[in-house]
């Protein structure tokens, strides 16, 4: 069992660099003070995302490969939510000196697998040690066919839509962490929910497609529908009328609950207040919803209109959006 | 005393965003899923750097303002070492939920002060909580007048030069941490050494100037002259003959040692094996050294030739470079 402390920093960097693959002739990736990337004619999209052991994941239930995948997916989702295409990432990694080199190899495999999935190159990074594992991805992309899609440009009367289905990642977290911690030992549905928590899919293709189809605003669902919708509406200075019956709940969540495998789970609450589904929430002129739906269904991605943008208060059925939002996650309140 | 847990994530983000200043009309900084930046015709320079509490700093001796400054300076130095100009940064920040909002305000002040110093805009970031403070800066810049300056292009016969002076940051660390922990209570020299540790200066102007003057290779001195010179020589597949008597030791270090204020300090060892001076180490055709020296002296920055690139072994006086390097810092070996 080889530990990173046995190998040393330079050898570990070389070991990682060897797996990043050769860059194009006009680029420099790992191995120098910084990466050098070819210029682009389009606007740049630039974001960063931090995953922290014991806060965002536990190594008791997430493999290092899962952690690498998810770290890249979270940033890719942010770029997609701007209507951008992610291109390159640099990754700062903090490990304990007792960490095994196999841990680094596996984490890198997860990063590279997710990168291959969405066409994102790992161009470099930084290594450090510390008391917990920290993975900080910084990602660079470019806007697609149009300018960026902001949160702040929803218009009264627009349809409010989401891609895919919601609540699955939070249900997977519950399966992994709540007693009796069933993990992936349950049915197919439960295993798929766990996979949704551990290996989320960023809507990279869909983000670019939606941008080209004239969506008026967009945000990714990382902290839960209620919280992220509230952010979009606040930025746009508008209200909403959302029909909770139209919120697309993950079918695996319904199946697992129906089979008694997630006993304490409230599906609507997980769909509205649970986070990390990495679906896209967007607004668009209501007449354009059918065209958007058929365009995304070609890529196997459902689109559901859940409500409309209003000039009034923010409501989900009979309740305030704020009530739902307070049931969700806040990094600093820890709930 | 207000804690971040009382305020919540969104309010904290808004508090930070309000201080980042308005972006140009075609850019989006904080407040959306990702920052959007205007394209550049030049190649992009992209890097990341992680500072971890209790590994890279202690809050017993570094203020949050110091930590913010240093985090930005470290990345700026990496961009400068490519001959690039840093332009934008995004910052991922991990705090305990017990952290005070004043801590965040001060850390941001340090980031903004360093940004103002070198013309770098803070364009966004990410907030999380965890067991220790983590500051992860990702920085984006552009190459200056020429292509990037790599580590791998030193040529046999080139002069090996460094900017400024060495050993000061490591001496400052010693003053802060080694008994009797004199901190800044000593003479002017000791206070300047401590400032050099806490508020390092990145050679941003000098990096671009050196690139335009035809340096053949360049690296910044973050892990110590011996370690970083070894990296440059290994990448270029060359040797060196360095004269230890020509290594420019920080005059404040010499003064503090002379005054008996840093009793256990070995100046040459601090200059060769101590890190975080953030000077630039570069190679250049030997006949061009006088021109480079006079160009940089205009900006108040000394240039010293410390040796030459050879095709043979790597030597510092009578010793192997590797011997000196093993006296330096390795993140995973913790020495």
Mean pLDDT of chain B: 93
The arithmetic mean of pLDDT across residues B272-283, rounded, is 97
- A10 and B231 in contact by Cβ < 8 A? yes
Q: Residue B39: list chain A partners with CB under 8 A.
A: 39-44, 142
- Measured between CA atoms, the residue of chain A closest to residue B221 is A33
Q: How many CB atoms lie within 10 A of CB B254?
A: 17
User: Predicted confidence band at B183 (pLDDT cuts at 50, 70, 90)?
Assistant: low
- What pLDDT was estimated at residue A335? 47
Which of B331, B333, B334, B335 best probes binding to A when mutated, by most A CB atoms within 10 angstroms?
A: B331
Closest chain A C-alpha to B82 CA, distance in angstroms: 7
Core vs surface per residue A109-136: b (16+ CB within 10 A) or e: bbbbebbebbebbbbbbbbbbbbbbbbb
- A90 and B7 in contact by Cβ < 8 A? no
pLDDT over threshold 90, residue A183:
no
The arithmetic mean of pLDDT across residues A187-198, rounded, is 92
Q: What is the DSSP string of B30-44?
A: TTSSSEEE---SSPE
User: Predicted confidence band at B135 (pLDDT cuts at 50, 70, 90)?
Assistant: very high
Query: What tens digit of pLDDT does each residue of A113-151 get?
Result: 999 999 999 999 999 988 899 999 999 999 977 789 999
- B50 and A235 in contact by Cβ < 8 A? no
Name the phi and psi angles at B21, rounded to 5.
Answer: 80, 155
- A52 and B7 in contact by Cβ < 8 A? no
Which of A332, A333, A334, A335 best probes binding to B when mutated, by most B CB atoms within 10 angstroms?
A: A332
- Measured between CA atoms, the residue of chain B closest to residue A329 is B9
- What pLDDT was estimated at residue B335? 46
Q: Residue B79: list chain A partners with CB under 8 A.
A: 33-34
Core vs surface per residue A272-303: b (16+ CB within 10 A) or e: bbbbbbbbbbbbbeeebbeebeebbeeeebeb
Q: Residue A231: list chain B partners with CB under 8 A.
A: 10
Considering only CB atoms, B131 lies closest to which of A33, A131, A235, namely: A131
Considering only CB atoms, A332 lies closest to which of B4, B40, B140, namely: B4
- What pLDDT was estimated at residue B96? 81
Cβ contact B157:B286 at 8 Å:
yes
What token pair was written down for A139?
A: 């990602």
Which residues, 6+ apart, have CB-to-CB distance to B284 below 8 Å? B158, B159, B161, B213, B214, B215, B216, B292
Query: What tens digit of pLDDT does each residue of B149-164 get?
Result: 999 999 999 999 999 9
- Measured between CA atoms, the residue of chain A closest to residue B101 is A332
- B10 and A231 in contact by Cβ < 8 A? yes
Closest chain B C-alpha to A186 CA, distance in angstroms: 31
Closest chain A C-alpha to B289 CA, distance in angstroms: 23
Q: Residue B28: list chain A partners with CB under 8 A.
A: 148, 150
- B48 and A92 in contact by Cβ < 8 A? yes
SS3 A121: strand
Percent share of chain A, pLDDT over 70:
95
Omega within 30 of 0 (cis) for the link into B180: yes
- A94 and B128 in contact by Cβ < 8 A? no
The arithmetic mean of pLDDT across residues A183-194, rounded, is 79
Q: Residue A133: list chain B partners with CB under 8 A.
A: none
Q: Which of A89-98, A198-207, B125-134, B138-147 has the highest mean pLDDT?
A: A198-207
Query: What tens digit of pLDDT does each residue of B28-80 get?
Result: 999 899 999 999 899 999 999 999 999 999 999 999 999 999 999 999 999 99
User: Predicted confidence band at A305 (pLDDT cuts at 50, 70, 90)?
Assistant: very high
- What pLDDT was estimated at residue A330? 66
Q: Residue B10: list chain A partners with CB under 8 A.
A: 231, 330
Closest chain B C-alpha to A129 CA, distance in angstroms: 6
What token pair was written down for A284?
A: 């668009």
Q: Residue B56: list chain A partners with CB under 8 A.
A: 128
Query: What tens digit of pLDDT does each residue of B207-263 get?
Result: 999 999 999 999 999 999 999 999 999 999 999 999 999 999 999 999 999 998 887
Cβ contact B192:B200 at 8 Å:
no
Q: Residue A331: list chain B partners with CB under 8 A.
A: 9, 127-129
pLDDT over threshold 80, residue B322:
yes
Closest of B77, B72, B66 to residue B107, by C-alpha: B66
**In whole angstroms, what is the distance from residue B335 CA to residue B327 CA?**
8
What token pair was written down for B18?
A: 């309000």
Count of H-run helices and E-run strands, chain B: 12, 12
- Measured between CA atoms, the residue of chain A closest to residue B35 is A46
**In whole angstroms, what is the distance from residue A65 CA to residue A67 CA?**
5
Q: What is the DSSP string of B170-193?
A: HHHHHHHHSTT--TTSS-HHHHHH
Percent share of chain A, pLDDT over 90:
83
In Å, the largest CA–CA distance within chain A is 62
- A128 and B88 in contact by Cβ < 8 A? no
Query: What tens digit of pLDDT does each residue of A48-76 get?
Result: 999 999 999 999 999 999 999 999 999 99
Query: What tens digit of pLDDT does each residue of A230-274 get?
Result: 999 999 999 999 999 999 999 999 999 999 888 778 999 999 999
- B33 and A82 in contact by Cβ < 8 A? yes
SS3 B327: coil
**In whole angstroms, what is the distance from residue B333 CA to residue B58 CA?**
19
Task: Please say whether the dihedral angle defined by the alpha carbons of residues A109, A114, A116 and A120, taken in this order, is positive or negative.
Answer: negative
Cβ contact B227:B235 at 8 Å:
no
Q: Looking at chain A, how many residues does it have?
A: 335
- B97 and A47 in contact by Cβ < 8 A? no
Considering only CB atoms, B48 lies closest to which of A44, A126, A151, namely: A126
Which of A6, A7, A46, A203 best probes binding to B when mutated, by most B CB atoms within 10 angstroms?
A: A46
Which residues, 6+ apart, have CB-to-CB distance to A274 below 8 Å? A166, A167, A169, A170, A171, A173, A224, A328
Closest of A264, A263, A170 to residue A225, by C-alpha: A170
Closest of B16, B13, B5, B20 to residue B129, by C-alpha: B5
User: Predicted confidence band at B278 (pLDDT cuts at 50, 70, 90)?
Assistant: very high
Q: Residue B140: list chain A partners with CB under 8 A.
A: 44, 46, 140
What token pair was written down for A166?
A: 């919601």
Query: What tens digit of pLDDT does each residue of B7-25 get?
Result: 888 899 999 999 998 999 9
Query: What tens digit of pLDDT does each residue of B237-250 get?
Result: 999 999 999 999 99
Q: What is the DSSP string of A155-223?
A: -TT-EEEEES-BSHHHHHHHHHHSTT--TTSS-HHHHHHHHHHHSPPP-HHHHHHHHHTT-SEEEE-SS
pLDDT over threshold 90, residue B179:
no
- A36 and B44 in contact by Cβ < 8 A? yes
How many Cβ pairs closer than 8 A exist between chain A and B?
266
- What pLDDT was estimated at residue A171? 95
CA distances to A261, B78, B80 from B208, in Å: 62, 12, 7
- A127 and B32 in contact by Cβ < 8 A? no
**In whole angstroms, what is the distance from residue B190 CA to residue B180 CA?**
13
Closest chain A C-alpha to B215 CA, distance in angstroms: 15
Percent share of chain B, pLDDT over 70:
95
Considering only CB atoms, B92 lies closest to which of A49, A54, A333, namely: A49
Q: Residue A148: list chain B partners with CB under 8 A.
A: 28, 32, 36
- Measured between CA atoms, the residue of chain A closest to residue B330 is A9
Which of A10, A15, A34 best probes binding to B when mutated, by most B CB atoms within 10 angstroms?
A: A34
Which of A3, A33, A100, A147 best probes binding to B when mutated, by most B CB atoms within 10 angstroms?
A: A33
Query: What tens digit of pLDDT does each residue of B92-102 get?
Result: 999 987 889 99
């Amino acid at each position: 069992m080889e530990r990173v402390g046995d190998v040393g920093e330079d050898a570990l960097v070389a070991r990682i660099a060897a797996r990043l693959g050769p860059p194009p002739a006009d680029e420099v990736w790992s191995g120098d003070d910084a990466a050098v990337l070819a210029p682009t004619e389009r606007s740049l999209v630039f974001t960063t995302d931090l995953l922290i052991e014991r806060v965002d994941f536990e190594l008791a239930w997430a493999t290092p490969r899962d952690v690498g995948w998810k770290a890249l997916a979270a940033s890719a989702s942010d770029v997609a939510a701007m209507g951008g295409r992610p291109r390159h990432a640099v990754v700062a990694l903090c490990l304990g000196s007792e960490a095994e080199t196999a841990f680094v190899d596996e984490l890198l495999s997860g990063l590279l697998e997710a990168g291959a999935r969405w066409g994102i190159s790992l161009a470099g990074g930084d290594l450090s040690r510390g008391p917990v594992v920290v993975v900080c991805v910084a990602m660079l992309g470019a806007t697609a066919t149009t300018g960026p899609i902001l949160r702040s440009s929803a218009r009264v009367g627009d349809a409010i839509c989401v891609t895919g289905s919601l609540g699955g990642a939070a249900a997977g977290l519950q399966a992994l962490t709540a007693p009796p911690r069933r993990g992936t030992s349950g049915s197919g549905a439960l295993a798929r929910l766990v996979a949704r928590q551990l290996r989320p899919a960023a809507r990279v293709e869909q983000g670019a497609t939606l941008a080209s189809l004239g969506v008026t605003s967009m945000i990714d669902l990382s902290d839960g529908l209620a919280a992220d919708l509230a952010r979009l509406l606040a930025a746009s200075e508008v209200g909403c009328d959302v029909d909770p019956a139209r919120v697309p709940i993950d079918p695996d969540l319904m199946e697992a609950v129906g089979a008694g495998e997630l006993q304490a789970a409230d599906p609507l609450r997980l769909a509205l207040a649970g986070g990390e589904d990495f679906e896209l929430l967007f607004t668009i002129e209501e007449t354009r919803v059918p065209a958007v739906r058929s365009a995304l269904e070609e890529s196997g991605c459902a689109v559901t209109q859940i409500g409309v943008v209003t000039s009034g208060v923010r409501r989900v059925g009979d309740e305030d959006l704020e009530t739902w939002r307070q049931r969700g996650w806040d990094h600093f309140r820890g709930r």
